[in-house]
Amino acid sequence: MENQGQRGFSKAEIPDPKAWLDGTPPAESDPRVERLVNELIGRVADKWTMLILELLEEKGTLRFTEIGRQVEGISQKMLTQTLRQMERDGLATRTVHPVVPPRVDYALTPLGNSLSAAFCGVWIWAERHLAAVEEARARFDAL
Amino acid sequence: MENQGQRGFSKAEIPDPKAWLDGTPPAESDPRVERLVNELIGRVADKWTMLILELLEEKGTLRFTEIGRQVEGISQKMLTQTLRQMERDGLATRTVHPVVPPRVDYALTPLGNSLSAAFCGVWIWAERHLAAVEEARARFDAL
DNA sequence: TGCTATAGACACCGAAAGGTAAGAAATGGA
DNA sequence: TCCATTTCTTACCTTTCGGTGTCTATAGCA
């Protein structure tokens, strides 16, 4: 993979799955930054994005149809759209091989890997507390 | 509701803000559970939910209009809807005081606190990598 | 009497998300 | 010759999201 000179930070900073935990506590209150962060999270916390992120994290490099097959329920339109967006946000790379049935490979960038690691906490939370949420819902709906 | 027998852990497990970090790696591959988890994350990763979660985490207990004032841009409809949903999911409590201009207080449950803690990682990620994402976008859009 | 304030419920309506389906482009194989 | 394959794009249409505006109940107050 050649591209993506992520200019500001070195690759060495990312590989550690817990890298996002050290230093820099959430002590921040600039409303402009906060707005940008909100917007970014809103885009990135998208259902399909999270699923594709997980899949690529686990499987490495995959081609278009492969992802479509493994992310159950996604339409081709959403797949294209989501991948394009991830590429634009610098989360994934898109490599086109100029062969005649087209072949396009997708893989995570270091940035994508770090996001995947950050989401890990939410993922674990959901797994661990799924039952609690369902129980709460049942209790709520019973009234 | 058709609870898949996921019950089996006590409330006492939740209060620690870092509880979601210890043990239990994401080693899990039951497609049914995975679907439920996806759905849960999709619901919980909602924009307004995240903002209210943050606000209540920071401020403690707040009443309806207070939240409306501090979550900039939310409509009354969305506020009601989101709070109702959070209550249903067991993330927040709703306390009605039978006084004459009505007064209703909202606060996070331990479950809500733990979710807030889990999202913390994503917030930090977004803060730290905001510039990288914007740079990636600029590069992408320049083509 | 009539006005205000609080926490909603409810209906209407435009905008946006997302699904379906068709087509395009290029080439090897039946 | 014609079809299948792969990765999209585009058009069309339905469903959902979310904003606005109206209505309620009740007590205090002018």
How many angstroms separate the CA atoms of B105 and A97, rounded?
Answer: 58
pLDDT for B58 equals 93
- The partner residues of B93 in beta bridges, in order of sequence, read B107
Which residue would you say has higher pLDDT here, B34 or B68?
Answer: B68
Q: How far is A99 from chain B (nearest CA, A)?
A: 23
Mean pLDDT of the B33-59 span:
87
Give the whole-number percent of chain B exceeding pLDDT 90: 55
Q: Measure CB to CB from residue A41 to each of B6, B24, B50 and give the nearest one.
A: B50
pLDDT for B92 equals 96
Put simply, whether A66 touches B (Cβ < 8 Å) is no
How many angstroms separate the CA atoms of A136 and B11, rounded?
Answer: 12
A38 touches strand D (CB under 7 A): no
Beta strands in A1-143 (DSSP E): 62-63, 92-97, 103-108
pLDDT for B29 equals 60
Chain B window 18-57: residues with CB closer than 7 Å to nucleic chain C are none
pLDDT for B115 equals 94
List pLDDT tens digits, range B100-128.
889 999 999 999 999 999 989 988 999 99
Mean pLDDT of the B22-32 span:
54
Tokens read off for B65: 């209009």
Flag residues of chain A having pLDDT under 70. 1-30
Q: Which of A38, A69, A129, A137 to mutate to test the interface with B (most CBs of B within 10 A)?
A: A129
Give the whole-number percent of chain B exceeding pLDDT 70: 78
pLDDT for B28 equals 53
User: Residue A27: helix, strand or coil by DSSP?
Assistant: coil
List pLDDT tens digits, range B61-102.
999 999 999 998 899 999 999 999 999 999 999 999 988 889
Cite the DSSP H helix spans in B30-109.
Answer: 31-44, 47-59, 64-70, 76-88
pLDDT for B40 equals 86
Tokens read off for A43: 């885009």
Cβ distance A124 to B21 less than 8 Å, yes or no, reads yes
pLDDT for A38 equals 80
Q: How far is A106 from chain B (nearest CA, A)?
A: 16
- The partner residues of B108 in beta bridges, in order of sequence, read B92
B98 CA – C19 C1', rounded, Å? 47
* pLDDT surpassing 80 at residue B12: no
Please answer whether residues B69 and A122 qualify as being in contact, where contact means their C-beta atoms are separated by less than 8 angstroms: no
Q: Which residue of B has its CA nearest to A121?
A: B118
Instruction: State the average pLDDT for chain B.
Output: 81
How many angstroms separate the CA atoms of B126 and A20, rounded?
Answer: 10
* pLDDT surpassing 80 at residue B13: no
Nearest nucleotide over every DNA/RNA strand to the B64 CA, judged by C1'? C7
